[in-house]
Structure 1
Amino acid sequence: MKENYHHGNLKNELLETSIQMISEKGFEYLSLRKVANLCGVSHNAIYRHFESKEQLISCCRKYVTEALTERLEQTIKGMETSKLETLEALCEAYVSFYREHPTYFSALYRNSDRKIIFTLEKVEENYPPFELFRGVVCANIEKRNMTKEEGENYLFRLWSLVHGMISLFIASNVELRGDLKQEELLCKGFTIN
């Protein structure tokens, strides 16, 4: 075990290690002591950042949500929300984020208390990345003069497309062969009416 003194950002290292552990073995395997051991710090060091396993899990989810939200906001910054290109960029950024950080997906969605409300109206307590996604989709729905029912179906289909692609791209038992390109697969999904 390392000395009690730790160089760098210990809290982020603890979060990243926890996320990896959750992804590989599930929440039931996670313990503060195991995380401390993997990070090479004393068991007391982790308790300076997290009081309990539940708080650690909550912080992991918050960490991933904030990173994803920031990535999505930066992607569409300065873009016109009603343009199809903005929606495509947003979806591609969403999928790319989880391809770059595959462990984040299961840490966020496995046994999650995260609530997503599928509606065209803004919902303050909605999951922030979904709320951002919903806003861009709604701008596109309005521009395309869809009915409320068509818009609700479009929102649901696009979210399903994005999450389905993420699940396939990060699955260890799925092998993609040929010339499948993420951008093209996503764009083809937007033409469904």
Structure 2
Amino acid sequence: MAKRGYHHGNLAQALVDAALKLIEEKGPTGFTLSEAAKLAGVTPAAVYRHFEGREQLIAECARQGYEIFGDLMEHAYNSGQPSALASFEATGRAYLAFARKHPGHYVAMFESSLNVQRHPELHAVAARANGVLERAAADLSQHIPADRRPPAQMFSAHIWALSHGVVELFARNSPGTNVPYPPEDLLEAGIGIYLRGLGLIAPD
């Protein structure tokens, strides 16, 4: 009797979907290709028709994640126009929303220790997604005098680090890190403090 996996028409995507479930449950290094194959309903040998190994499979998970992430960031950026401040704040919220809705993709993208440079397609989509936040930072920083203006890449990196920290500590049910504030409020307050320090919004 044929394995059911051969009947679903898209073996590569079935393996990606299986890997995403395993990544969410066990982390990017907590599963084997054999487990992904079993979950997809195919033999372990069938995996190698599409992926050279686990790293390439995880890289495809990350690539698809960056595609979704980039679309969400673009939408968030455009939804705030024509206000540079609204666009910037929307991209920060989009980061948190993505991490919550797509945890498997998020882990594959940011916690798998992939060398993005080794995967050209992954590098391209990652650059596109990351570029949205940098563009939002560049737009907003135009309101800062040139002699006090941080580089847009540094500006966006600070917000990325803040967003990532909120996700890791408070939006993924990490034990021992409960606080009486929703992650959205923590992120909004943190971004507000940062922007006030740059003189981009008025003090409360």
The structure that is helix-richer by fraction is 2
Q: CA deviation at 1:32?
A: 2.4
Question: What does residue 187 of structure 1 align with?
Answer: 188
Question: What does residue 42 of structure 1 align with?
Answer: 43
Question: What does residue 62 of structure 2 align with?
Answer: 61
Question: What does residue 8 of structure 2 align with?
Answer: 7
Question: What does residue 96 of structure 2 align with?
Answer: 95
SS of the aligned residue for 2:47 comes to helix
Say what the alpha-carbon RMSD is for the aligned residues.
Answer: 3.0
Q: CA deviation at 1:96?
A: 0.6
Which sits farther off after the overlay, 125-134 or 67-76? 125-134
Question: What does residue 163 of structure 1 align with?
Answer: 164
Aligned pair count reads 184
Confirm or deny: 8 A CA contact 1:17 1:35 kept in the other structure: yes
Distance 1:43 1:57 in 2: 16
Confirm or deny: 8 A CA contact 2:19 2:61 kept in the other structure: yes
Residues 1:52 and 2:39 aligned together = no
> Cα gap change, 1:40/1:153 in structure 2, threshold over 3 Å: closer, same or farther?
closer
> Cα gap change, 1:151/1:31 in structure 2, threshold over 3 Å: closer, same or farther?
closer
TM-score (norm 2): 0.73
Distance 2:20 2:155 in 1: 32
Q: CA deviation at 1:30?
A: 3.5
Query: What amino acid sits opposite 1:172 in the alignment?
Result: S
Give unmatched runs, 5+ long, in structure 1.
116-123
Residues 1:109 and 2:110 aligned together = yes
Q: CA deviation at 1:28?
A: 4.0
Distance 1:13 1:125 in 2: 21
SS of the aligned residue for 2:4 comes to coil
Q: CA deviation at 1:4?
A: 4.7
Q: CA deviation at 1:99?
A: 1.0
Confirm or deny: 8 A CA contact 2:14 2:40 kept in the other structure: yes
Q: CA deviation at 1:14?
A: 1.4
Identical counterparts, % of pairs: 28
Distance 2:17 2:125 in 1: 26
> Cα gap change, 1:8/1:92 in structure 2, threshold over 3 Å: closer, same or farther?
farther
Distance 2:10 2:125 in 1: 30
Distance 1:155 1:13 in 2: 35
Q: CA deviation at 1:18?
A: 1.3
Q: CA deviation at 1:174?
A: 4.6
CA-to-aligned-CA distance 1:74-127 (integer Å, 9 cap, x gap): 233354265211111111111111011223222222213247xxxxxxxx8973
Distance 2:131 2:152 in 1: 15
Confirm or deny: 8 A CA contact 1:4 1:45 kept in the other structure: no
Distance 1:91 1:152 in 2: 15
Confirm or deny: 8 A CA contact 1:114 1:127 kept in the other structure: no
Q: CA deviation at 1:152?
A: 6.2
